[in-house]
Structure 1
Amino acid sequence: MNINEIKELIELINSSDLAYFEYECEDSRIKMDKSLTRGLVQDNEIIKEESNKKIPSIENVKKEIIKEETTKEEIKGEIKEEKEDLENVTIINSPMVGTFYGAPSPDSDSFVNIGEKVSTGSVLCIIEAMKLMNEIESEVNGTVVDILVKDGEMVEYGTPLFKIKEGN
């Protein structure tokens, strides 16, 4: 952090209701304390505080572990389902840098919508590059699963534009 960032942080803490703030990263550590007594706490008070903490029972720990394992299995199942769903999905990427347009003009309907069937060669969108309008066509037969770019958004070469699930 540089000195200006630290000054801004001090101003933010001063203007907030926070009484204590601590920030730590790899090479620096910052503590801010608005109370005057926090630094005067005696060591024995800290020890008393730590000794009053409850130690979790073995049964509670076992329950936590079982919950974590169940959650992990559910997540693995969801990931497997997503992979299966993506197996037949083709991503159409931008072949150039330009501005994405989903319709031939602002007043007209979009070339394609989510859930709509497309065939090879169907126009999906237009990318304007250097005042030239370039039609982007579907490379596969299938159904539009997702439109990944908003109308009027700048796209780079290789930017994913559409997800199309292959099939009739």
Structure 2
Amino acid sequence: MDYEEIKKLIDDMGNAKIDELEIEFPEGMKISMKKNTEKEIVVTNGAQMQANAISTTPTTNVVLNNQNNAEVPINETTGNKNAQEENYKIIKSPMVGTFYSRPAPNKEAFAKTGDTVKKGQVICIVEAMKLMNEIESEFDGEIAEICVKDGDVVEYGTPLFKIK
């Protein structure tokens, strides 16, 4: 299946009255689509498990999952600094990509140290596979620390912000 066929499948899925579609091909390729506010496709090819996402919208909103990325307890064994940090809530990267604190190089940052943020407020972008994924705060609070710099490559689970 080539790019144009996949693109047509996305368009057809948007017009169809189904919410989910999964196709497995004999050669090991698998296409899985779920309809939300954005369309997302994951293509895997056999044992390589190579994932490619194609979206018809330039921005995907990502809300951190409370079970996986929410609060991380910090060890109390190394003194006062850690005793203060145990009250922080950590917002972690939900994916591998490039961290950006602002929507464009000439724009203001989404959030800075000392800013008060609300749950659901966009606080940064993680670019992955040419898609700009807006990362929203899972908590109400004040940004105590931004743990990464603009343009840094982040891994899944990398702490991005400390919220108090």
What are the within-5 Å matches in structure 2 for residues 6-155 of structure 1? 79-155=78-154
- Compute the TM-score of the two structures, normalised by the length of structure 2: 0.51
SS in 2 for 1:84: helix
Answer with 1 or 2: which has the greater Rg.
1
More strand by share: 2
One-letter code of the match for 2:89? T
- Compute the TM-score of the two structures, normalised by the length of structure 1: 0.50
| Count of residue pairs the alignment pairs up | 88
The whole-number CA distance in structure 1 between the counterparts of 2:160 and 2:110 is 13
The whole-number CA distance in structure 1 between the counterparts of 2:155 and 2:102 is 19
One-letter code of the match for 2:104? S
> Over aligned residue pairs, what C-alpha RMSD do you find?
1.5
The whole-number CA distance in structure 2 between the counterparts of 1:83 and 1:150 is 22
More helix by share: 1
Instruction: Provide structure 1 residue ranges, at least 5 long, that are not aligned to the other structure.
Output: 1-78
| Aligned-pair CA distance for 1:143 | 0.4
Encode CA deviations 1:79-131: one digit per residue, 9 max, x unaligned.
54323311220111100000100000000000000011001011110000001
The whole-number CA distance in structure 2 between the counterparts of 1:83 and 1:100 is 26
SS in 2 for 1:134: strand
Identity of aligned residues (%): 57
Instruction: Provide structure 2 residue ranges, at least 5 long, that are not aligned to the other structure.
Output: 1-77
